[in-house]
């Protein structure tokens, strides 16, 4: 029902609005007034933001194009910070028990908790704060700068200005101090002319001039770092205006290319000009000189160090890379000096104060030297003996000759003592005599041994005894008994292999003769014998 009645009411209002507009057009109803109390022309279309010239309309006709009246309930004011409204002399009922103010309760008190509150002491009653209630509109609630006092930022500006002023004053004092020290030093040395004194006084006066008057020369407004070219900022152009522009140094169309966008000319516009008289040699000259070259070498060193396994990166740790490069240059210089000293110590220094021979000094001599067509010396120079890569003429262990100066029986030795041991001590002539005597004795022993081998002496064969020891000289074995003992041993072994042939009545004889022991030794199986499996 509510929905139906609401819809019916809206239709009724719409019908009444149409009838009122028709009556106004016919002049039967009062005209509609605008915000200023003036009559709205009904002939002006309401969808037009600007009326034609012939309708003489001075303001927009649409409602959303007019200045709407702000709601009187909304305000743009802000809280009065720190304002007090009343100062009480004694504690009042319902006030804060801590400070005694009526504008808040004890739980919301922002003052330091007292040992005894104002409720019990009645002293130091805090004034009541001014409490305001504002009803802000949509924009007022979302305005982050609402209630901000711009004058509160003045102390920040004053602090920075004071710091800059102190810095300028300090720099000026330092500059004046240096100039005064220089003047005092020149006065002590003496001989200063009046012109020099005037120049020094002029320098002191220039130093006293305010820096702010000297830093604003040649200001140029440029746009930097934005899509349209950058934010407007002051960039000082240090080029003197009397200098010739780089693109005017050489007007030949085939000369160095000038890029007007970057204002760069990489090549030299005047390559044939004297370098001493040349003021500009191209932008590439800056890349191979000064700090640019040092920075390039630093990058190359960082790359090479990283390739060799060092954890160094120019962009990630520039201080580490610069320190490593500095240590590398110091070590390289030390190694270079050490190498130079070693070479000079070994080969001498041609630039020393020692006088050179006249032949070498003038580069001439009376000696005739003949060369062939290939540049080889044919006549006039003695053949130089090839030198070994090892140290020559070095005598050790009291030797008077070097190792390898004597050769005998396919062995090298020392000629002084005829020894073939490398680290032996030299014994001189006595050692040679002792060696010859030892060699003669050795030859005699060899000859005697050979003579003894020629006369054959029968050697008695040693036989092992029955119980494993050497056979005594008086022991004699009977061959017949040994043969019988061997046969018995063989029959005994066959009986052990075949159980059926073993007799029931076995007689053991504890007495063992040497022949039976020898037969047992001959017939027993040797475990270490590789042919034991083929014996039986």
What percent of the chain lies above the pLDDT cut of 90? 21
| Residue 58 in this model has a pLDDT that exceeds 80 | no
Measured CA to CA in angstroms, residue 198 lies from 211, 358, 426 at distances of 22, 60, 89
Q: What angle do CA 104, 109, 113 make, to 5 degrees?
A: 145
Neighbours of 235 (CB within 10 A): 14
3 or 141, higher pLDDT: 141
| CB contact at 8 A, 101 and 169 | no
| Residue 303 in this model has a pLDDT that exceeds 90 | yes
Through-space distance between the first and last CA atoms of the chain, rounded to whole angstroms: 133
Q: What angle do CA 448, 453, 454 make, to 5 degrees?
A: 100
The pLDDT of residue 536: 54
Q: What angle do CA 351, 353, 354 make, to 5 degrees?
A: 95
| Residue 463 in this model has a pLDDT that exceeds 60 | no
| Residue 395 in this model has a pLDDT that exceeds 50 | yes
Residues near 249 by Cβ (< 8 Å), separated by ≥ 6?
A: 269, 270, 280
The pLDDT of residue 174: 92
| CB contact at 8 A, 218 and 238 | yes
Q: Where are the domains of the chain?
A: 11-65, 77-176, 291-344, 392-451
- Phi and psi at 306, nearest 5°, equal -70, -40
State how far the Cα of 189 lies from the Cα of 174, in Å rounded to an integer: 23
Per-residue H/E/C for 460-477: CCCCECCCCCECCCCCCC
Q: Helices in 352-478 by DSSP H: which ranges?
A: 358-362, 428-454
Q: Coil, strand, or helix at residue 88?
A: coil
Measured CA to CA in angstroms, residue 257 lies from 249, 262, 289 at distances of 12, 12, 21
Mean pLDDT, rounded, for 138-162: 87
Residues near 192 by Cβ (< 8 Å), separated by ≥ 6?
A: 186
Mean pLDDT, rounded, for 236-244: 67
Q: 278-292 b/e with 16+ CB inside 10 Å = b?
A: eebbbbeeeeeeeee
- Phi and psi at 378, nearest 5°, equal -100, -40
Residues near 387 by Cβ (< 8 Å), separated by ≥ 6?
A: none
Mean pLDDT, rounded, for 99-123: 93
| CB contact at 8 A, 306 and 312 | yes
Please report which confidence band the pLDDT of residue 61 belongs to, taking 50, 70 and 90 as the band edges: low
Q: How many CA atoms lie within 13 A of 466 on its CB side?
A: 12
535 or 88, higher pLDDT: 88
Residue identified by tokens 């052990």 is 496
- Burial grade of 419 (CB within 10 A; 0-12, 13-18, 19 or more): buried
- What would the DSSP string read from start to end of 264-286? B--S-S-TTS-TTT-S---GGGG
State how far the Cα of 60 lies from the Cα of 62, in Å rounded to an integer: 6
- Phi and psi at 86, nearest 5°, equal -155, 140
What percent of the chain lies above the pLDDT cut of 70? 66
128: part of which helix (H) or strand (E)? Answer: strand 128-129
179 or 147, higher pLDDT: 179
12-16 CB contacts, 8 Å cutoff, 24+ apart: none
Mean pLDDT, rounded, for 384-390: 67
The pLDDT of residue 2: 41
| CB contact at 8 A, 118 and 143 | no
Most confident residue range from 68-82, 213-227, 404-418, 446-460: 404-418
Please report which confidence band the pLDDT of residue 79 belongs to, taking 50, 70 and 90 as the band edges: confident
């Amino acid at each position: 029902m509510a929905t139906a009645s609401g819809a019916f009411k809206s239709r009724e209002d719409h019908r009444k609005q149409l009838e009122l507009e028709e009556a106004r057009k016919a002049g039967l109803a009062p005209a509609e007034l605008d915000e200023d109390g003036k009559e709205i022309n009904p002939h002006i279309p309401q969808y037009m933001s600007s009326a034609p010239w012939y309708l003489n309309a001075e303001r927009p006709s649409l409602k959303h194009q007019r200045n709407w009246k702000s709601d009187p309930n909304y305000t743009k004011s802000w809280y009065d910070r720190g304002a007090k409204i009343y100062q009480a002399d004694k504690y009042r009922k319902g006030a804060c028990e801590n400070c005694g103010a009526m504008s808040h309760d004890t739980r919301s008190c922002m003052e330091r908790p007292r040992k005894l509150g104002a409720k019990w002491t009645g002293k130091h009653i805090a004034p009541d704060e001014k409490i305001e209630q504002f009803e802000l509109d949509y924009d007022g609630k979302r305005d982050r700068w609402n209630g901000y006092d711009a004058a509160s930022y003045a102390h920040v500006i004053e602090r920075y200005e004071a710091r800059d002023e102190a810095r300028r004053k300090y720099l000026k004092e330092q500059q004046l101090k240096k100039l005064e020290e220089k003047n005092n030093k020149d006065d002590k040395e003496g001989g200063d002319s009046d012109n020099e004194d005037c120049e020094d006084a002029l320098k002191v006066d220039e130093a006293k001039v305010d820096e702010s008057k000297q830093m604003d020369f040649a200001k140029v407004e440029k746009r930097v770092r934005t899509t349209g070219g950058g934010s407007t900022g002051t960039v000082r152009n240090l080029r003197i205006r009397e200098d010739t522009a780089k693109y005017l140094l050489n007007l030949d169309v085939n000369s160095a290319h000038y890029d007007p966008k970057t204002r760069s000319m990489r090549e030299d516009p005047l390559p044939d000009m004297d370098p001493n008289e040349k003021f500009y040699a191209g932008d590439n000259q800056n890349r191979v000189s000064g700090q640019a070259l040092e920075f390039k070498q630093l990058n190359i060193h960082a790359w090479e160090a990283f390739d060799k396994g060092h954890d160094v990166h120019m962009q990630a740790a520039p201080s580490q890379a610069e320190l490593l490069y500095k240590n590398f240059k110091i070590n390289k210089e030390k190694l270079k000096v050490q190498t130079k000293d070693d070479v000079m110590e070994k080969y001498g220094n041609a630039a020393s104060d020692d006088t050179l021979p006249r032949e070498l000094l003038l580069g001439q001599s009376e000696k005739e030297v003949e060369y062939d067509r290939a540049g080889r010396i044919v006549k006039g120079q003695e053949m130089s003996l090839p030198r070994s890569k090892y140290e020559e003429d070095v005598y050790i262990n009291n030797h008077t000759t070097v190792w390898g100066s004597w050769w005998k029986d396919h062995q090298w030795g020392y000629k002084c003592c005829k020894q073939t041991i490398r680290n032996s001590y030299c014994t001189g002539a006595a050692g040679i005599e002792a060696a010859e005597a030892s060699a003669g004795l050795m030859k005699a022993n060899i000859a005697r041994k050979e003579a003894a081998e020629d006369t054959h002496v029968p050697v008695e064969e040693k036989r092992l005894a029955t119980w494993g020891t050497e056979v005594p000289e008086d022991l004699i074995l009977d061959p017949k008994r040994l043969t019988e003992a061997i046969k018995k041993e063989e029959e005994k072994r066959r009986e052990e292999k075949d159980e059926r042939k073993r007799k029931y009545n076995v007689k053991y004889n504890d007495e063992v003769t040497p022949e039976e022991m020898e037969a047992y030794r001959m017939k027993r199986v040797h475990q270490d014998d590789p042919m034991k499996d083929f014996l039986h």
